[in-house]
Amino acid sequence: MKKRSLFYEILPNLSHKNALVITGMRQVGKTTLMRQLYEEPLSGSKLWFDLDNPLDQKVFEDIDYNNIYTRLRDLAGGSKERLYVFVDEIQNFPEITKIIKFLIDHYGVKFVVTGSSNYYLKNLFPESLSGRKFLYHLTPLSFREFLYFHDKLSEEEARLNNTISILHPISIFDYKKFAEEYSVFMRFGGFPEVATTSEFITKSQILKNIFASFFEKDLKILSDYADIRELRDLILLLVPRIGSMLDVTKLSIELGVARQKIYSYLEFLQGVFFIRLVPKFSKSIDRSVAGGRRVYFTDTGLLNTLGNVNDSQLFENAVVNQLASYGEISFYNHRHAEEIDIILNKKIALEVKLTGTSNDVKQVNKLASKIGLAQAKVVSYKFADLKDIISPVNF
């Protein structure tokens, strides 16, 4: 089975004392990734637990954590070697973070765990494992990984993550080589099961199932049915707002829900990696700019499943998701008159167009210079043989 790029980032820390925590949306491949780590040769004893299973939860139910360690040792056959414990879906048993901390500190047990969201880690767990964990975020497939999963790129090529290389224009040959695949990637997104399914109808059905699973499992944290219904309606209202600054007051009025509750729902949706809220650009490190943030969905396949957006919105959403793996994303907006779609790492201005032109290049360069950015490019869906126009098939 093919390995995600994140596998190679985690692998060197497999012997480190800290717990390794892999987060991300459901169905992005966290369990598969952890299983591949489990199958690596390790100098010690290995145990696997799935906390979706109440019987596996029972192993960790004891007020004396020393007893839990003894139980784990017995399950490992009494071996005195280092104990490696792999735990899937830790958000189902919040108490386990305190147990992990104790067993790391007192017995040197190595934990590799998955959790479905940062929201759970921050709000449900009484102990965040501060100083005792390395946190990793597994996203849907990048376009490079998508091509690798379809045998269009080598594993080494898929793992390239160099901002400089993506900023160079590509030839018409390289563009046409992957243009068809990019169209499919943009339409159906990067969930591994979706990406590796050939039939479009089946892809769509899988995406519907992923959304249903989100409501079935992730939303159980919400207090009652009214909250779930409000959250569903908010998600549907966000679809046509892709790439636009959110007006929380308008959302509050449309839903008939208090503004503070809208803010908490948005935090929840971002915390479970369902949406991405992009802030306004500020060159200051010490302060963040107050005001509206732009909203994007973290998977364009889910976005298409939930409603209709125009081609420009879909393309911009796809590009934002791709570039987010290269660093910090923000946008520039001056009194709704001057805008830059994406600013990468506070250094590079990027304007997103279905068909980039020389006028677009001039405009983004002018605005970039005005706010003190030395680099500016236009990201075009259609190929354009111009110096400062780049293609997302290269990201």
150: in domain: no
Q: Do residues 276 and 199 both lie within one domain? A: yes
155: in domain: no
- pLDDT at 284 (0 to 100): 64
> For the segment 16-56, what is each residue's pLDDT rounded down to a tens digit?
999 999 999 989 999 999 999 999 999 999 999 999 999 99
Q: Do residues 39 and 93 both lie within one domain? A: yes
**pLDDT of 197 above 80:** yes
Q: Do residues 132 and 167 both lie within one domain? A: no
- pLDDT at 223 (0 to 100): 58
145: in domain: no
- Structural domain tally of the chain? 2
Q: Do residues 245 and 326 both lie within one domain? A: yes
**pLDDT of 199 above 70:** yes
149: in domain: no
Domain boundary among 102, 137, 172: 137
CA distances from 212 to 97, 172, 217, 302 (A): 28, 40, 9, 11
- pLDDT at 163 (0 to 100): 87
Q: What distance lies between CA 37 and its chain's CA centroid?
A: 20
Q: Do residues 230 and 299 both lie within one domain? A: yes
> For the segment 245-301, what is each residue's pLDDT rounded down to a tens digit?
999 999 999 999 999 999 999 998 998 899 999 999 987 654 444 458 999 999 999
- Percentage of the chain beyond pLDDT 70 is 94
CA angle 191, 128, 84 (to 5 degrees): 70
CA distance 336 to 351: 15
Q: Could you tell me which residue, 130 or 194, shows the higher pLDDT? A: 194
Indicate the residue type of 76. A
153: in domain: no
**pLDDT of 139 above 60:** yes
Taking residues 313-324, report their average pLDDT. Answer: 98
- pLDDT at 291 (0 to 100): 53
Domain boundary among 104, 137, 170: 137
**What is the residue range of 369's domain?**
160-394
Q: Do residues 230 and 361 both lie within one domain? A: yes
C-beta pairs of 55-62 under 8 Å, 24+ apart in sequence? 57/92, 57/93, 60/93, 60/95, 60/96, 60/99
Tokens of 121: 């880690």
Question: Which residues, other chains included, contact 24 with Cβ-Cβ below 8 Å and sequence gap of 6+?
Answer: 30, 116, 137, 138, 139, 273
Q: How confident is the model at residue 60 (pLDDT cuts 50, 70, 90)?
A: very high
Q: What distance lies between CA 44 and its chain's CA centroid?
A: 32
CA distance 175 to 154: 17
Q: Do residues 85 and 167 both lie within one domain? A: no
**pLDDT of 217 above 60:** yes
Tokens of 372: 């003190």
Q: Could you tell me which residue, 351 or 335, shows the higher pLDDT? A: 351
Of 27-31, 57-61, 103-107, 210-214, which gets the smallest average pLDDT? 210-214
196: in domain: yes
151: in domain: no
> For the segment 169-181, what is each residue's pLDDT rounded down to a tens digit?
999 999 999 999 9
- Percentage of the chain beyond pLDDT 90 is 81
Domain boundary among 137, 171, 197: 137
CATH of residue 125's domain is: 3.40.50.300
Q: Do residues 37 and 105 both lie within one domain? A: yes
144: in domain: no
**pLDDT of 148 above 70:** yes
Q: Do residues 61 and 207 both lie within one domain? A: no
Q: Do residues 198 and 129 both lie within one domain? A: no
Label residues 49-68 b or e (16+ Cβ within 10 Å = b). bebeeeebbebbeeeebeeb
Q: What is the CA radius of gyration of the chain?
A: 23
Of 84-93, 116-125, 171-180, 299-308, which gets the smallest average pLDDT? 116-125
- pLDDT at 222 (0 to 100): 63
Taking residues 116-128, report their average pLDDT. Answer: 70
Q: Do residues 332 and 235 both lie within one domain? A: yes
The pTM of the whole model exceeds 0.85: yes
Q: Do residues 171 and 292 both lie within one domain? A: yes
